[in-house]
C-alpha cells in the first residue's frame, strides 16, 4: 500500500498516484468464494432475530446493580451467507445461550451499574495465524516471560467508551487466559499482594481462575458503546474472529424523546426497536481453499475466516512508482534501514493493515432490510479492522436492483480505472449523535449524497479543505442517524453505498471491489466483478420499502430534520430543550497545551510500523516515534483540562481512540515543520477549519488526517463513587510511577494499534 513515508510531510515526497497503482503479482486479499449473491438474506436483529441479548441474572431492584454473565467461547460453525459455507468463530455469548455472532448485547440504564462476569472458555489454538513477535517483543523480556504470554487464548475486555476504573477498562496488559494466567496489569508476578478488583465479585469472593468481573458504573448519558478484545499482540485477530459486542446506555432524556415520538421506535422484521436499529458494519474475507499453508497454520476449512500472514515486501528495482508488493520493507526503503530480519522467516507475520473483500452487517453478508414508509433510527458502528466507510444512500438501478448507477473513469487506453456513483439520491440522513452522545446540533447528510472526493496536495501530501464526503465513519466511530422513508414509494429498493478509498485517503485499487472494476488478479486483486454478486465493498446492504402498517408517523418525528435543515444558527434553544446536549468546556480552562505526533517507521524485521510520539525527538533518534513500553509521556493529573495538538506525519488518516475520556474537536490545520537544534518540532500552521457538523459534540474516536494538526480539548476525570478502592497499577512502577492509573490512547486501525500505535495514558491523583 505504501511508498516510503517516514517524515513525508517534511520532505514533500507524497504522490497520490503512487499509492493507487500496482504493476506486479502479489498475494491476493480477495480470497472469498466467487459468486456470493447480494441481498438474498435479511439483516440479523436482536434477541430472537439473531443476535443474543444479555439479561440480568440477579434482581437489580434488590442489589442496586445488574449482574450479567458472558462466556467467551469458540462457537459452533456460523453462516454469514449460504454461498460462503460455515465459519469457525470466537466470541461472546450470554451464559446459557447458544453462541451467535456479536452475542452478548447489553442494554444498560444511566445510574444503574452493571457487573459483567466474563468466563474464558477459549481453546489455545487460534482460528487465525498468530505472529507472536507482537506480544513477545525481545525488548520487553520482563513481560515476554509472563506465564501465559505465549498462549493464544488470552483475552482482555475493553469497555469501549466507558467511564470506568482502569482495571475494568481493559487495557492491553489486562489479559487473562482459560487456565488462570494473568497479564502484568492484573498483578501476578509483579506484585503477589496486588488484588485487582476485577478478580472478585460483589461480595468480595475470589472468582474462578478463568474469570474476571468488570464494573461499569453507567454514569453516562445515552450512547452506543461497545466492548471488544484488547489483549496485547492479539487484539486484531481476536476482534476479527468475533470477540466484540454492543453496549447501549439509555437515559431519561432518550426515554422521553421516544415517549413523545420525537425519536422513532423503529419496527424491523416486525419487532419494535426501542433504541434504534443497530448496524455493525465490518468487512471479512473467507477462506476458499486457495492457500494450503493457511490451512496448515490454523486448521482452516472452506468458509473459515482468512487473515493475511505474509509480509508482501515492496522491493522496487523499477523505482517507487513501480513497486512489486504492498508495503515498504526497511532494507529497500529510501533511506534504507539496515540489519532487518526478513519477516517471512516467521511462520506468520503481522501486516500493516488488512482490507477484506466482503461487507458484513450484523453478521450477515450483503443483507436486505424491509422498511415501512416511516422514520427509522439507525445506530451505526464501524467495527472493521481498517476500512473507512463513506456512507451514501441511493435508489437501486432500474436496470438491476442489486446495483447503483455509476459512471466509469478510464485511462488513455480506455481501461477502467475507477467509478463514481450517479444513482438517484435516497432520503436524507439526520445525524443526532456520535459515540459521546447527542451532537450539539443535528447534522443533515445525504442531501444529496456526496461521493468521496479526497484532495491531497501533490507536493506535501497535506489534506486539502476541498475534500468532500458524506457520512464518513472510521474504525471505532459510531453514529446515530434518522432516515425518513415516509415518502419513498412502496416497492422501491435503495442501497447503502460506500466509496471511501482504502487505505484512507490515498487508496489502493486492489482494495476497492465494485461492479465493473478492472481485472487486477495479476497484481494481487480480483478479476472484474460482475453484477449481482460479490466481492463488492461498495454495495453494503439493500433497503426494501413496504407499505406502512398502522397510522402515519406524527409530525413530531420530523422536528429534528426541520432543525437540521435550518442550521445551527437558528432554533438551537428548541434543540437544547429537547436533547439537553452537554455544554462545551471552555478551552480557556485548559491548564496545558500538549503537542504530540503520529509517526511511521520500521521494526526490527523491516516491517512498516506506526507509533505515537511527542514533538521532541528521543535521544539518538531521527523520528518522534516512541515505543509503547518507553517511559510514559502523557501523565496527567486527575481533574485537569488540556488541549492536545496532534500532528499526523504519516500518509494515512488515523482514527485515534481515547480510553476513559471524551474529547471535543476544536479545529484541523494544515502544517509543515522543521526541527530545531533541541530536536523539537517547529510547525508552520495553515488556516484552521472547524470540526465537521456531525463531529460537533463529544467523541472518543477522532479521525486525524495526513498533513494536518488536529486540535482537541480533553477534560480528564476519573469515575467516582465506586464500591471498591481502586489500586494503583503495579506495571507502572517500573517507570517510577507509584501512584498511577493505567489507561491508553491509540489508533483504532487494529493492525496499527498493536504494532505499535498506542501509548500509555496515565492519570495520577
53, β-bridge pairs? 105
Give the rounded distance of the alpha carbon of 19 from its chain centre: 22
The full set of domain ranges for the chain reads: 354-579
Is there a contact between 22 and 509 (Cβ–Cβ < 8 Å)? yes
CA–CA distance, 4 with 313 (Å, rounded to integer) = 12
CB–CB of 115/106 below 8 Å? no
CA angle 113, 115, 119 (to 5 degrees): 160
- Answer left, alpha or beta for residue 12, where phi above 0 means left and psi between -120 and 50 means alpha: left
What pLDDT is stored for residue 19 in this prediction?
29
pLDDT at 79: 96
Q: DSSP of 165-234, one letter per residue?
A: -HHHH--TT--B-TTS-B-GGG-GGG-TT---GGGB-TTSPBPPTTEEEEEE---S-SEEEEEEE--TTT
Which grid cell sits at 754?
A: 498493536
Q: pLDDT averaged over consecutive 10-residue blocks of the chain (765 residues)?
A: 39 29 55 94 89 95 97 94 96 93 96 98 96 71 73 97 97 95 82 91 97 98 97 96 97 96 87 90 93 86 94 70 77 87 93 97 98 97 98 98 97 92 98 97 97 92 94 98 98 98 95 94 89 97 96 97 84 89 93 97 94 96 93 98 98 97 98 96 97 97 97 98 96 94 98 95 98
C-alpha to C-alpha distance for 85 and 300, rounded to whole angstroms: 12
Integer angstrom CA distances of residue 448 from 180, 393, 444, 469: 55, 9, 10, 11
Can you say how many angstroms the Cα of residue 308 is from the centroid of all Cα atoms in its chain?
A: 19
Beta bridge partner(s), residue 592: 642
* Cα–Cα distance measured from residue 495 to residue 368, given in angstroms and rounded to the nearest whole number: 9
The CB density around residue 539, as the number of other CB atoms within 10 Å, is 27
CB 465 within 8 A of CB 410: no
**DSSP bridge partners of 704:** 654
- Torsion of the alpha carbons at 553, 401, 287 and 473, rounded to the nearest 10: -50
The count of other CB atoms within 10 Å of the CB of residue 391 is: 25
Contact 452, 468 (CB under 8 A): yes
Q: Quick check: bond before 446 cis, omega within 30?
A: no
CATH of domain 354-579: 2.60.40.420
Give backbone dihedrals phi and psi of 668, rounded to 5 degrees, phi first.
Answer: -130, 140
- Degrees, nearest 5: CA angle 458-464-467: 110
514 and 407 Cβ atoms separated by less than 8 Å: no
Beta-bridge partner residues of 689: 668
Backbone angles phi, psi at 187, to 5 degrees: 100, -100
Q: What ranges make up the beta strands (E) of 547-649?
A: 592-602, 608-614, 625-626, 635-637, 641-648
Residue 193 neighbours by CB distance under 10 Å? 6
Q: Say if strands 358-361 and 364-365 run parallel, antiparallel, or are unpaired.
A: antiparallel
pTM (two decimals): 0.95
- Name the DSSP class of 610: E
Amino acid at each position: 500500500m505504501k511508498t516510503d513515508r517516514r517524515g513525508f510531510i517534511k520532505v514533500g515526497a507524497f504522490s497520490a498516484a503512487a499509492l493507487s497503482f500496482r504493476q506486479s503479482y502479489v498475494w491476493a486479499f480477495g480470497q472469498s468464494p466467487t459468486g456470493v449473491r447480494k441481498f438474498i438474506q435479511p439483516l440479523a436483529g436482536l434477541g430472537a432475530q439473531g443476535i443474543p441479548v444479555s439479561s440480568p441474572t440477579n434482581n437489580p431492584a434488590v442489589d442496586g446493580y445488574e449482574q450479567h454473565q458472558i462466556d467467551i467461547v469458540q462457537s459452533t460453525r456460523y453462516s454469514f451467507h449460504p454461498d460462503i459455507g460455515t465459519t469457525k468463530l470466537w466470541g461472546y455469548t450470554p451464559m446459557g445461550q447458544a453462541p451467535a455472532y456479536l452475542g452478548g448485547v447489553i442494554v444498560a440504564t444511566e445510574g444503574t451499574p452493571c457487573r459483567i462476569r466474563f468466563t474464558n472458555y477459549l481453546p489455545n489454538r487460534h482460528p487465525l495465524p498468530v505472529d507472536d513477535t507482537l506480544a513477545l517483543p525481545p525488548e520487553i523480556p520482563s513481560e515476554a516471560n509472563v506465564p501465559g504470554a505465549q498462549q493464544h487464548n488470552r483475552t482482555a475486555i475493553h469497555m469501549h467508551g466507558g467511564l470506568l476504573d482502569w482495571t475494568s477498562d481493559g487495557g492491553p496488559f489486562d489479559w487473562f487466559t482459560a487456565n488462570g494466567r494473568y497479564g502484568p496489569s492484573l498483578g501476578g508476578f509483579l506484585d503477589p499482594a496486588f488484588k485487582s478488583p476485577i478478580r472478585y465479585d460483589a461480595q468480595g469472593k475470589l472468582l474462578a481462575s478463568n474469570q474476571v468481573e468488570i464494573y461499569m458504573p453507567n454514569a453516562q448519558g445515552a450512547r452506543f458503546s461497545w466492548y471488544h478484545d484488547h489483549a496485547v499482540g492479539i487484539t486484531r485477530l481476536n476482534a476479527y474472529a468475533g470477540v466484540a459486542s454492543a453496549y447501549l446506555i439509555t437515559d431519561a432524556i432518550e426515554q422521553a424523546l421516544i415517549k413523545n415520538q420525537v425519536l422513532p421506535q423503529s419496527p424491523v422484521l416486525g419487532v419494535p426497536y426501542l433504541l434504534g436499529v443497530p448496524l455493525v458494519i465490518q468487512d471479512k474475507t473467507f477462506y476458499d481453499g486457495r492457500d494450503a499453508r493457511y490451512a496448515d497454520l490454523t486448521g482452516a476449512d472452506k468458509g473459515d475466516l482468512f487473515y493475511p500472514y505474509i509480509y508482501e515486501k515492496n522491493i522496487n528495482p523499477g523505482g517507487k512508482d513501480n513497486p512489486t508488493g504492498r508495503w515498504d520493507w526497511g532494507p529497500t526503503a529510501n533511506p534504507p534501514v539496515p540489519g532487518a530480519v526478513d519477516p517471512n522467516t516467521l511462520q506468520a507475520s503481522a501486516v500493516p493493515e488488512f482490507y477484506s473483500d466482503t461487507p458484513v452487517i450484523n453478521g450477515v453478508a450483503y443483507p436486505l432490510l424491509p422498511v415501512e414508509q416511516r422514520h427509522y433510527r439507525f445506530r451505526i458502528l464501524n467495527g472493521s479492522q481498517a476500512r473507512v466507510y463513506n456512507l451514501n444512500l441511493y435508489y437501486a438501478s432500474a436496470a438491476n436492483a442489486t446495483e447503483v448507477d455509476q459512471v466509469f473513469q478510464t485511462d488513455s487506453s480506455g481501461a477502467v480505472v475507477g467509478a463514481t456513483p450517479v444513482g438517484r439520491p435516497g432520503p436524507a440522513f439526520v445525524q443526532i449523535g456520535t459515540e459521546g452522545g447527542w451532537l450539539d446540533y443535528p447534522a443533515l447528510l445525504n442531501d444529496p449524497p456526496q461521493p468521496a472526493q479526497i484532495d491531497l496536495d501533490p507536493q506535501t501530501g497535506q489534506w486539502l479543505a476541498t475534500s468532500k464526503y458524506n457520512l464518513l465513519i472510521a474504525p471505532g466511530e459510531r453514529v446515530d442517524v434518522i432516515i425518513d422513508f415516509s415518502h419513498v414509494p412502496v416497492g422501491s429498493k435503495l442501497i447503502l453505498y460506500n466509496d471511501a478509498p482504502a487505505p484512507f485517503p490515498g487508496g489502493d485499487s486492489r482494495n476497492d471491489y465494485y461492479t465493473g472494476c478492472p481485472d487486477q488478479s495479476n497484481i494481487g486483486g480480483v478479476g472484474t466483478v460482475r453484477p449481482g454478486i460479490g466481492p463488492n465493498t461498495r454495495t453494503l446492504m439493500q433497503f426494501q420499502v413496504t407499505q406502512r402498517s398502522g397510522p402515519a408517523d406524527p409530525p413530531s418525528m420530523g422536528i429534528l430534520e426541520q432543525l437540521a435543515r435550518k442550521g445551527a444558527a437558528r432554533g438551537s434553544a428548541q434543540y437544547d430543550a429537547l436533547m439537553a446536549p452537554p455544554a462545551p468546556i471552555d478551552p480557556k480552562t485548559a491548564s496545558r497545551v500538549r503537542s504530540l505526533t503520529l509517526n511511521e517507521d520500521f521494526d526490527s524485521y523491516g516491517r512498516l510500523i506506526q507509533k505515537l510520539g511527542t514533538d521532541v525527538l528521543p535521544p539518538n533518534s531521527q523520528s518522534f516515534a516512541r515505543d509503547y513500553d518507553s517511559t510514559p509521556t502523557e501523565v496527567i493529573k486527575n481533574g485537569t483540562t488540556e488541549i492536545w495538538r496532534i500532528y499526523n506525519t504519516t500518509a494515512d488518516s488515523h482514527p485515534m481512540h481515547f480510553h476513559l475520556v471524551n474529547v471535543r474537536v476544536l479545529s484541523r490545520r494544515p502544517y509543515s515543520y522543521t526541527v530545531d537544534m533541541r530536536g523539537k518540532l517547529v510547525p508552520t500552521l495553515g488556516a484552521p477549519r472547524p470540526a465537521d457538523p456531525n463531529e460537533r459534540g463529544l467523541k472518543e474516536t477522532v479521525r486525524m488526517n495526513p498533513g494536518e494538526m488536529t486540535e482537541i480539548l480533553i477534560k480528564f476525570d476519573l469515575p467516582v463513587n465506586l464500591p471498591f478502592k481502586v489500586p494503583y497499577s503495579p506495571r507502572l512502577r517500573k517507570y517510577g510511577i507509584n501512584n498511577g492509573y493505567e489507561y491508553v490512547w491509540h489508533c483504532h486501525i487494529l493492525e496499527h494499534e498493536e504494532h505499535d500505535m498506542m501509548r500509555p495514558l496515565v492519570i495520577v491523583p
